[in-house]
Structure 1
Amino acid sequence: MTKNRRVWALALWAALFSGAASATGPASGEWSFRVLLDDSPIGEHRFMLATAGEDRRLTSEAEFSVKLLGVTVYRYRHSANETWRGDCLRQLVSKTDDDGTPEKVDAKAVGDNTLAVTTAKGTQPVEGCVMSFAYWNPTIRRQERLLNSQTGKLEAVQVARAGSGMVEVRGQPVEAARWRIATPAQPIDVWYTAQGEWVGLDSTVSGGRKLSYRLK
């Protein structure tokens, strides 16, 4: 993989989500985002959240294609199924095709306080309550570490309020608060309404280009 493609990959999984199991996030919902590169559409990312007994289950599907002069120069496909108990991730199964490079993650709870995360590199235990890059759950704003659903790597993050502004939501401008997630790769700006609904995301990828999610 070239350096530029590695940068793309880092941006997509971080931009393509510890504490008590308080279940402060939504119990159910659907989010369907247009994905834009420098304001040009390149695909979609869809999320579906449902409650099943004491658990919440999330399914997500992403599909991007970047073209140059009509020729596809980058493809990305990602699917994930997550099970949550409160605000703690208890199971994750994901599959990714990052421009021809496959990746798989299989994470399962072991006891009450450990998540066993298996990738092609082996199995590693993650202690305590951990979240993925779950932008749909406002509790993410209190986290200091997040599990990458594409690579299975636990990432140190810093999350802070970064002002407010207008974001296009279903074709209309909506006032929203911006929260910045600082990751080892690059910062991710996540937008929430006053009611805590996730409505957008912005990040920077290779060449200083802007990657955006806008709620359909």
Structure 2
Amino acid sequence: MKHHAPGLMLALAACLAVAQERDVEAGEWNFTATLDGKPIGAHRFVVAGTAAARSVDSRARFSVRVLGIPVYRYRHQAEERWAGDCLRDLRTETDDDGTRQQVAQGFDADCLMSFAYWNRRLVKQQRLVDPQTGKIESVRFEPLPDATIEVRGQPVPARGWRLQAAQQRIRIWYAADSGRWIGLDADTKGDHQLSYRLTSPRSTP
């Protein structure tokens, strides 16, 4: 099962890192992460401040087990500073199954976004910053047909976008009525699927 790690790593990196169209609200999003429907951990996003100056704290912890034996472990923590829709500062620490990486990078010269799924204006971007590596990736967004996504055991009408990058295929879901981020599905190598779904009462769609 160790072969899960390369594909899962790519999907998790993209996941690092909604909002109403008119503005991005401060708030907290708590997700349960599953791999092929089995829980592997959690990812929390906290957005604070105002539209002019906001901070984002992102923390993820995952452990993939087979017959109760850990075969893959992932830890990620990111702090972002934003001015409007422009990422200005990125500080991250990642432990990808024993491989450690740190990023400390400023982005004052360009107006770029990270993989900030909490911001619906993300789908207008053609380049995004990978928070795990600090590298800039070319991306393409395509609208998906409306769907119904299960959130805390309840069906929620959703609108989706397909995000395509060099080695990533991700479907992002927003609540149809409020426009807030409620989940995503990422394809990994070996025909596996990594999914996020809201779990906390503080994460009302």
Q: TM-score, normalised by structure 2?
A: 0.89
Q: Secondary structure at the match of 1:26?
A: coil
Q: Deviations over 1:136-193 (max 9, x none)?
A: 0001010000000001110000011011211112221101011011011121100011
- Give the deviation of 1:104 after TM superposition: 0.9
Q: Given that residues 26 and 50 in structure 2 are in contact (C-alpha distance below 8 angstroms), is that contact kept between their aligned partners in structure 1?
A: no
Q: Deviations over 1:105-139 (max 9, x none)?
A: 111244xxx1xxxxxxxxxxxxx210000000001
Determine the C-alpha separation between the residues in 1 that align with 2:131 and 2:61: 15
Q: Which amino acid aligns with 1:89?
A: L
Counterpart of 2:195 in structure 1 is: 212
Determine the C-alpha separation between the residues in 2 that align with 1:53 and 1:136: 13
Q: Aligned pair in 2 of structure 1 residues 181, 25: CA closer, same or farther (>3 Å)?
A: farther
Q: Secondary structure at the match of 1:97?
A: strand
Specify which structure has the bigger relative contact order, considering alpha-carbon pairs within 8 angstroms and separated by 6 or more residues.
2
Counterpart of 2:171 in structure 1 is: 189
Q: Which amino acid aligns with 2:192?
A: R
Q: Secondary structure at the match of 2:144?
A: strand
Q: 175-184 or 162-171, which moves further after superposition?
A: 162-171
**Cα RMSD (Å):** 1.7
Q: Which amino acid aligns with 2:95?
A: D
- Give the deviation of 1:9 after TM superposition: 1.4
Q: Which amino acid aligns with 2:122?
A: I
Counterpart of 2:144 in structure 1 is: 162
- Structure 1's unaligned 5+ residue stretches are 18-22, 115-127
Pairing of 1:42-81 with structure 2 (within 5 A) = 42-51=40-49, 54-81=52-79
Determine the C-alpha separation between the residues in 1 that align with 2:107 and 2:9: 27
Determine the C-alpha separation between the residues in 2 that align with 1:30 and 1:168: 19
Given candidates 149, 155, 159, the residue that maps to 1:177 is 159
1:14 correspondence with 2:14? yes
Aligned length: 194
Q: Secondary structure at the match of 1:10?
A: helix
Q: Stretches of 4+ moved more than 6 A in 1?
A: none
Determine the C-alpha separation between the residues in 2 that align with 1:205 and 1:145: 21
Task: Using the aligned pairs only, state the percent identity.
Answer: 47
Counterpart of 2:115 in structure 1 is: 133
Q: Deviations over 1:6-29 (max 9, x none)?
A: 322112101344xxxxx9542301
